[in-house]
Amino acid sequence: VQLVESGGGLVQAGGSLRLSCTASGSTLDYYAIGWFRQAPGKEREGVSCISSSGGRTSYTDSVKGRFTISRDNAKNTVYLQMDSLKPEDTAVYYCATALMAFPTSCLIGREFYDTWGQGTQVTVSS
C-alpha cells in the first residue's frame, strides 16, 4: 500500500485544516491508521489513530477536543480535521498503517506502524 497525505498549508492560529490520507495499491479496510507529526528538532509523535472498523479512535492529550479523525473506506481515505489550531501544532504530518490484532484496536505508538506517507506541512502562524 502507498499513502499520500494532502491538505496541509499555512493557517492563522484559531483556524482549521483538514488533512487527507489516501491509499493506493491496497484497500485500507483492514488497517488501523495513525496520524503522526514531527516538528523541527523534535521526535515524531503520535497524534491520533482510528481502528480498522472505525469504531475506536484515540488522541494525544494536546489535541483532544480540537482534532477529529475519521475514515471513508469507500474512498480509501482517512481524514484528520484540525480545528482551533495553535502555533505549537506546526509540524510535518504523516499518516501510517498498522495491522492490529482486533478491528477495534487503535494504538498511537510509532512501533505499531510500518507503512508511511511522505508527509504534509502544516504551519500555524500566531
pLDDT tens digits along 20-67: 999 999 999 999 999 999 999 999 999 999 999 999 999 999 999 999
Specify the DSSP class assigned to residue 29.
T
Task: Tell me the average pLDDT across 72-87.
Answer: 97
- In the numeric block, the cell 488497517 is attached to 31
Query: 29 is written with which cell numbers?
Result: 479496510
Strands (E), 1-126: 2-6, 9-12, 17-24, 32-38, 45-50, 57-59, 67-72, 77-82, 91-98, 115-116, 120-125
For residue range 82-113, list pLDDT tens digits in order. Answer: 999 999 999 999 999 999 888 889 999 999 99
pLDDT at 16: 98
pLDDT at 6: 98
pLDDT at 103: 85
11 burial (CB, 10 Å; 0-12 / 13-18 / 19+) is middle
pLDDT at 101: 84
- CA distance to 35, 99, 108, per residue, from 120 (Å): 11, 23, 19
pLDDT at 57: 97
